[in-house]
A and B are shown apart, each in its own frame.
Chain A
Amino acid sequence: MSDSKPDSAVSDTLMIEMRQVHKWYGQFHVLKDINLAVYKGERIVICGPSGSGKSTMIRCINRLEEHQRGQIIVDGTELTDDVKNVDQIRREVGMVFQHFNLFPHLTVLENCCLAPIWVRKMPRREAEDAAMQYLEKVKIPEQAKKYPGQLSGGQQQRVAIARSLCMNPSIMLFDEPTSALDPEMIKEVLDTMIELAESGMTMLCVTHEMGFAKTVANRVIFMDGGEIIEQNEPEEFFNNPQSDRTQLFLSQILEH
């Protein structure tokens, strides 16, 4: 399944498995027969034209979207209608959104502590200490007492990453994390993500940042029309794309 070259960070433990997954929005067939296996420590970049189903696919992994046919197994737990399984998986899977989705009525620190305290039942003091560590990791501990509205976009996105990490997830999903940012702020967020990748986190990232894909990813997936058209290690993917659609897409985004 995975064509990745031997990579010391990637183990052979299966983290996510999607088998013949289909999804429809009303009459519209958004995901068609998706088969994907993600191993522990993999950094996967998913790209493709808008409307190709990339976001929908990763949103199925933590059940923000429901798939209608096929199987999704995350860290040994299958996603079904069983709320217990869904809760279990959401605790293991962190997600970073395009528009940050920080909670505006809570301070940065409260944003980070909320889920550990209420979902993981961690004592407040402990949760705050952990949150401060993650805020230091994303390099904004000094903003802990501020409200999200007082931060720049790049800072907010780094807080959002720290907030997800506070739940100590084994998988991180990124849904176009830099698309809503001003150009000068993209780098600080990508740097944070690169550091995260180097720490061995399993990551799935929908993004148009091809530079990020080249440096960080061990596998690039190209989607179009709700299907996985092609997947390969970055070098091969960019230098030697197999399908016409991939070639067309790459020529459109890399040409200027």
Chain B
Amino acid sequence: MSTFEPHPDLPPPSTSVGIVGWLRSNLFSSWLNSILTLVAAYLVFLTVPPLLEWAFFKADWVGDTREACDSGGACWVFVGVRMNQFMYGLYPESEYWRINLAGFLIVALVVPLFIERFRWKLWLGLFILVGYPIIAFLLFSGGVFGLEHVETSRWGGLTLTLILASVGMAASFPIGVLLALGRRSTMPIVKSVSVVFIEFWRGVPLITVLFMSSVMLPLFLPEGTHFDKLLRAMIGIALFQSAYMAEVVRGGLQAIPKGQYEAAQALGLSFWKSMGLIILPQALKLVIPGIVNTFIALFKDTTLVLIIGLFDMLAMIEAALADPKWLGYAIEGLTFAAFVYWVFCFSMSRYSMALERKLHTGHSR
């Protein structure tokens, strides 16, 4: 009788691990894949080097006039010269510090939220949602504490984009949650009001909403009523996006098993407590990708305020392109706009992925 001898662990064949293994399994696993790999490599070779050459190696970075742009690559001088307007719009130059201060303040307030051991997150979060907007508004608008008053029509550039986007997100999210709950309510009036609201705002293009808010709304208001244009745009964007948000959240609510509602009820939790403590935390976690999707769409949609005469970053770039001194640099201007929007949207996307990982509790129901 031979005794049982355990086999020692052998190393895997060299062709299945390391770089060679990776190349084999990912790029050259079959004839078709090998051909596709080679074609793709050729396309990369055709496009990327010239792009890099235009954007970086042959580009002009320093100077004050278009004469500085003579190397044949991108003329980033144009963007550099106009940078202040892209960032601050028509805000008076001497008052830029107010915007910078508000920006610095929000960064300083948000950072502690990411510190694991920080204890007052809830209060800080509430302050950011309620207190900070007031401070920021007073800073931007002025007229108090000896600050010069700056009309909202002079707010612009990336500042305006960020104001519109953050107000839109902060307002559309809670409204959307309420509408989603309303649409699932058993109370007929609450339900029908929510359905009508959602279907109305979802059925109208944002551009129409903005146009109506700017052109038609004043016709219905009593003569002489002043209703700030920026505020109207904000309300329009918030209501429009909240309808989308409502449907995203409703998707999450529907995915929560009935047993969760029943368990919450059986423990004696009231409707709002069971929603706030049990149902929404789970439902919102499920629809983080959808929520961020809506936020990203909202961020980019803010560019539409251009048509009602608000000068967000894209509008400032458009205006700069029409400057006779800088004609012909549309590609640089728009590339810069695309880059800035991409950085913000990509950050949101990465943040949402990190959040999903963090909130994952290995649940199975």
Contact A99 B365 (CB under 8 A): yes
Q: Which of B349-365 contact A (CB under 8 A)?
A: 359, 361-365
Question: Which chain A residues lie closer than 8 Å to B260 at the CB level?
Answer: 101, 103
The chain B residue sitting closest to A65, CB to CB, is B262
Q: Which of B244-296 contact A (CB under 8 A)?
A: 257, 259-260, 262-270, 273, 277-278, 281-282, 285
A149: Cβ under 8 A from any B Cβ: yes
Chain A CB within 10 Å, residue with most, of B259, B263, B362: B263
Q: Say whether B268 contacts A119, CB under 8 Å.
A: yes
Q: Which residues of A contact B281 (CB under 8 A)?
A: 105
Chain A's interface size range is 20 to 34
CB-CB nearest in chain A for B259: A101
Among candidates B259, B262, B270, residue contacting A87 with C-beta atoms closer than 8 Å: B270
Q: Which 6 A-B pairs have the closest CB atoms?
A: A104-B363, A101-B263, A101-B259, A115-B267, A90-B268, A149-B363
Residues of B within 8 A of A (CB): 257, 259-260, 262-270, 273, 277-278, 281-282, 285, 359, 361-365
Per-residue interface assignment for chain A, residues 71 to 101, with 1 indicating a CB less than 8 Å from any chain B CB and 0 otherwise: 0000000000000000100110111010101
A–B pairs, 13, beta carbons within 8 Å:
A90-B265, A90-B268, A94-B266, A97-B263, A102-B263, A104-B363, A104-B364, A104-B365, A105-B363, A118-B273, A119-B267, A119-B268, A148-B363
Instruction: Name B265's closest neighbour in chain A (CB-CB).
Output: A64
- A120, closest chain B residue (CB): B268
Cβ A149 vs Cβ B277 within 8 A: no
Nearest to B273 among chain A residues (CB) is A118
Contacts of A95 in B (CB 8 A): 263, 266
In residues 93-141 of chain A, which contact B (Cβ within 8 Å)? 93-95, 97, 99, 101-105, 114-115, 118-119
Q: Which of B269, B359, B361, B362 makes the CB contact (< 8 A) with A115? A: B269
The residue of chain B having its C-beta at the shortest distance from the C-beta of A99 within the complex is B259
The verdict on A212 contacting chain B, using a C-beta distance below 8 Å, is: no
Question: In angstroms, how far is the closest chain B Cβ from the Cβ of A200?
Answer: 22
Since A97-B266, A148-B363, A150-B362 are in contact, a sample of 17 more A-B pairs with Cβ atoms closer than 8 Å, ordered by chain A residue number, is A63-B265, A64-B262, A90-B268, A95-B263, A97-B262, A102-B263, A104-B282, A104-B361, A104-B363, A105-B282, A105-B359, A105-B363, A147-B361, A147-B363, A149-B363, A164-B267, A167-B267
Q: Does A163 reach chain B (CB closer than 8 Å)?
A: yes
Chain A residue, CB-CB nearest to B267: A115
Given the complex of chains A and B, what is the CA–CA distance between A118 and B267 in angstroms? 10
Q: Is A232 an interface residue (CB 8 A)?
A: no
**A114 and B361 contacting across the interface, CB-CB below 8 Å:** no
